[in-house]
Amino acid sequence: MSNIPQNFVIGQNVQIILTDSFGGTYLLSDFGHGTSFEATVNDTLIHVVPITNGGLPLNRRNPHGWTGTIRTARYNGFLSDYIALYDKYFYSTGNQLFLTMTVNIQEADGSIGTYIFTYVVLHKPTFGDYVANKETEQTFDFDAQELLSDAVDPLGSAGIPTLAPQGFLYSQSGSIGV
Protein backbone atom coordinates (compact mmCIF):
# COMPACT_ATOMS: atom_id res chain seq x y z
CA MET A 1 0.00 0.00 0.00
CA SER A 2 1.28 3.46 -0.88
CA ASN A 3 2.11 6.06 1.77
CA ILE A 4 1.14 8.89 -0.58
CA PRO A 5 -1.65 11.03 0.90
CA GLN A 6 -4.90 10.81 -1.05
CA ASN A 7 -5.79 14.47 -0.49
CA PHE A 8 -4.38 17.33 -2.52
CA VAL A 9 -4.15 21.11 -2.56
CA ILE A 10 -7.08 22.70 -4.40
CA GLY A 11 -5.79 26.27 -4.59
CA GLN A 12 -7.44 27.69 -1.50
CA ASN A 13 -4.47 27.47 0.83
CA VAL A 14 -2.20 30.25 -0.41
CA GLN A 15 -1.17 33.45 1.36
CA ILE A 16 0.67 36.15 -0.61
CA ILE A 17 2.49 39.00 1.14
CA LEU A 18 4.11 41.88 -0.74
CA THR A 19 6.75 43.99 1.03
CA ASP A 20 8.05 47.15 -0.61
CA SER A 21 11.44 48.82 -0.33
CA PHE A 22 10.14 51.15 2.40
CA GLY A 23 8.91 48.34 4.67
CA GLY A 24 5.26 48.58 3.70
CA THR A 25 3.61 45.17 3.89
CA TYR A 26 0.48 44.26 1.95
CA LEU A 27 -1.57 41.09 1.89
CA LEU A 28 -3.07 40.03 -1.41
CA SER A 29 -6.46 40.64 0.23
CA ASP A 30 -5.58 44.37 0.37
CA PHE A 31 -5.61 44.35 -3.46
CA GLY A 32 -8.89 42.42 -3.78
CA HIS A 33 -10.20 38.90 -3.33
CA GLY A 34 -7.42 36.74 -4.75
CA THR A 35 -8.82 34.35 -7.33
CA SER A 36 -5.72 33.08 -9.12
CA PHE A 37 -1.94 32.97 -8.72
CA GLU A 38 0.49 31.44 -11.16
CA ALA A 39 4.24 31.67 -11.51
CA THR A 40 6.56 30.21 -14.13
CA VAL A 41 10.32 30.13 -14.26
CA ASN A 42 11.96 31.84 -17.21
CA ASP A 43 14.69 29.51 -18.31
CA THR A 44 16.69 28.68 -21.37
CA LEU A 45 17.55 25.17 -22.40
CA ILE A 46 20.98 24.77 -23.93
CA HIS A 47 21.06 21.56 -25.94
CA VAL A 48 24.31 20.31 -27.43
CA VAL A 49 24.71 17.19 -29.53
CA PRO A 50 28.43 16.56 -29.52
CA ILE A 51 30.31 14.61 -32.14
CA THR A 52 32.28 13.04 -29.31
CA ASN A 53 31.06 10.84 -26.45
CA GLY A 54 28.98 8.78 -28.86
CA GLY A 55 26.78 11.75 -29.76
CA LEU A 56 24.96 11.64 -26.41
CA PRO A 57 23.14 14.96 -25.92
CA LEU A 58 24.23 17.39 -23.24
CA ASN A 59 21.48 19.53 -21.72
CA ARG A 60 21.81 22.53 -19.46
CA ARG A 61 19.11 24.72 -17.96
CA ASN A 62 19.90 28.37 -17.27
CA PRO A 63 17.37 30.16 -15.03
CA HIS A 64 16.47 33.75 -15.86
CA GLY A 65 14.04 34.74 -13.11
CA TRP A 66 10.33 34.17 -12.73
CA THR A 67 7.17 35.64 -14.23
CA GLY A 68 3.60 35.31 -13.11
CA THR A 69 0.06 36.63 -12.97
CA ILE A 70 -2.19 37.40 -10.04
CA ARG A 71 -5.94 37.81 -10.53
CA THR A 72 -8.29 39.43 -8.05
CA ALA A 73 -11.97 40.22 -7.81
CA ARG A 74 -11.99 43.99 -7.23
CA TYR A 75 -13.72 45.17 -4.09
CA ASN A 76 -11.91 48.46 -3.59
CA GLY A 77 -9.56 50.72 -5.53
CA PHE A 78 -6.38 49.68 -3.69
CA LEU A 79 -4.67 48.00 -6.66
CA SER A 80 -5.38 50.94 -8.98
CA ASP A 81 -4.23 53.40 -6.31
CA TYR A 82 -1.10 51.37 -5.58
CA ILE A 83 -0.11 51.21 -9.25
CA ALA A 84 -0.70 54.96 -9.63
CA LEU A 85 1.63 55.60 -6.66
CA TYR A 86 4.13 53.05 -8.03
CA ASP A 87 4.22 55.00 -11.30
CA LYS A 88 4.39 58.37 -9.52
CA TYR A 89 7.40 57.16 -7.50
CA PHE A 90 9.20 56.19 -10.71
CA TYR A 91 8.45 59.47 -12.48
CA SER A 92 9.37 61.65 -9.50
CA THR A 93 12.58 59.83 -8.49
CA GLY A 94 13.68 57.91 -11.57
CA ASN A 95 14.05 54.82 -9.36
CA GLN A 96 12.39 51.46 -9.69
CA LEU A 97 10.43 50.27 -6.67
CA PHE A 98 11.21 46.62 -5.95
CA LEU A 99 9.03 44.32 -3.90
CA THR A 100 9.63 41.07 -2.09
CA MET A 101 6.78 38.59 -2.48
CA THR A 102 6.40 35.89 0.14
CA VAL A 103 4.09 33.00 -0.76
CA ASN A 104 3.00 30.64 2.01
CA ILE A 105 1.31 27.46 0.87
CA GLN A 106 -0.44 25.01 3.16
CA GLU A 107 0.40 21.67 1.65
CA ALA A 108 -1.93 18.67 1.63
CA ASP A 109 0.17 16.98 4.32
CA GLY A 110 -0.43 19.95 6.64
CA SER A 111 3.05 21.46 6.30
CA ILE A 112 3.58 25.08 5.31
CA GLY A 113 5.93 25.83 2.41
CA THR A 114 7.36 29.34 2.25
CA TYR A 115 8.67 30.73 -1.02
CA ILE A 116 10.22 34.16 -1.49
CA PHE A 117 10.35 35.93 -4.85
CA THR A 118 13.08 38.61 -4.83
CA TYR A 119 13.32 41.93 -6.68
CA VAL A 120 9.72 41.76 -7.83
CA VAL A 121 8.34 44.36 -10.23
CA LEU A 122 4.65 44.66 -11.01
CA HIS A 123 3.58 45.33 -14.55
CA LYS A 124 0.62 45.18 -16.93
CA PRO A 125 -2.02 45.86 -14.27
CA THR A 126 -5.59 46.05 -15.48
CA PHE A 127 -7.89 48.74 -14.19
CA GLY A 128 -10.75 46.27 -14.18
CA ASP A 129 -12.86 44.18 -16.49
CA TYR A 130 -16.34 45.62 -15.99
CA VAL A 131 -18.98 43.17 -17.24
CA ALA A 132 -22.68 43.00 -16.32
CA ASN A 133 -23.64 40.34 -13.77
CA LYS A 134 -20.04 39.38 -13.06
CA GLU A 135 -17.46 40.41 -10.51
CA THR A 136 -14.94 42.95 -11.73
CA GLU A 137 -11.64 41.19 -12.32
CA GLN A 138 -8.29 42.94 -11.97
CA THR A 139 -5.00 41.31 -12.86
CA PHE A 140 -1.37 42.22 -12.63
CA ASP A 141 1.73 40.49 -13.83
CA PHE A 142 4.99 40.31 -11.99
CA ASP A 143 8.57 39.45 -12.74
CA ALA A 144 11.07 38.39 -10.09
CA GLN A 145 14.79 37.93 -10.07
CA GLU A 146 14.88 34.71 -8.07
CA LEU A 147 12.79 32.26 -6.07
CA LEU A 148 14.05 31.21 -2.66
CA SER A 149 12.66 28.36 -0.57
CA ASP A 150 12.69 27.64 3.14
CA ALA A 151 13.29 23.97 2.37
CA VAL A 152 16.37 22.26 3.72
CA ASP A 153 18.97 21.95 1.00
CA PRO A 154 19.20 18.19 0.31
CA LEU A 155 22.71 18.61 -1.08
CA GLY A 156 23.97 20.62 1.88
CA SER A 157 25.42 23.25 -0.46
CA ALA A 158 27.42 25.98 1.17
CA GLY A 159 26.39 29.49 0.31
CA ILE A 160 22.66 28.77 0.17
CA PRO A 161 21.14 30.61 3.13
CA THR A 162 18.76 28.94 5.54
CA LEU A 163 15.61 31.00 5.43
CA ALA A 164 13.33 32.04 8.23
CA PRO A 165 9.63 31.66 7.35
CA GLN A 166 9.09 35.45 7.28
CA GLY A 167 11.00 38.65 7.29
CA PHE A 168 13.65 38.03 4.66
CA LEU A 169 14.27 40.93 2.33
CA TYR A 170 16.90 41.67 -0.22
CA SER A 171 18.61 45.01 0.14
CA GLN A 172 19.55 47.02 -2.93
CA SER A 173 23.10 45.68 -2.61
CA GLY A 174 21.81 42.14 -2.99
CA SER A 175 22.69 40.99 0.53
CA ILE A 176 20.09 39.31 2.66
CA GLY A 177 18.77 41.17 5.68
CA VAL A 178 16.17 40.37 8.30
Q: Which residues of 135-160 are buried (b: 16+ CB within 10 A; e: fewer)?
A: bebbbbebbbbebbebeeeeeeeeee
Q: Which of the pair, 164 or 29, is modelled with greater confidence?
A: 29
Instruction: Establish if 87 belongs to a structural domain.
Output: yes
Residue 54 lies in a domain: yes
Answer yes or no: is 28 within a domain. Answer: yes
pLDDT at 85 over 50: yes
Mean of the per-residue pLDDT values for the chain?
80
- Residue 51 inside a domain? The answer is yes
| Mean pLDDT of the region 73-93 | 89
Q: Which residues have C-beta within 8 Å of that of residue 48, sequence separation ≥ 6?
A: 57, 58, 59, 60
Mean pLDDT of 156-169: 45
What pLDDT band is residue 128 in, cutting at 50, 70 and 90?
Answer: confident
| DSSP code for 28 | H
Q: Give the residue from 71, 83, 76, 93 showing the smallest Cα distance to 14.
A: 71
**What pLDDT score does 23 carry?**
86
In a domain? residue 3: no
Does a structural domain hold residue 6?
Answer: no
> Is 4 a member of any domain?
no
**CA-to-CA distance for 149 and 152, rounded, in angstroms?**
8
- Interatomic CA distance for residues 83 and 140, integer angstroms: 10
Round to whole Å and give the CA distance between 69 and 125: 10
Q: What is the CATH number of the domain that holds 22?
A: 2.30.110
- Give me the number of domains the chain comprises: 1
Predicted TM-score (pTM) of this structure: 0.75
Answer whether residue 84 shows pLDDT above 60: yes
In a domain, 66, yes or no: yes
CA angle, 116 then 120 then 122, to 5°? 135
Q: Which of 6-10, 59-63, 120-124, 141-145 has the lowest mean pLDDT?
A: 6-10
**Domain hosting residue 31, numbered range:** 14-177
**Would you place residue 134 in the very low, low, confident or very high pLDDT band (cuts 50, 70, 90)?**
confident
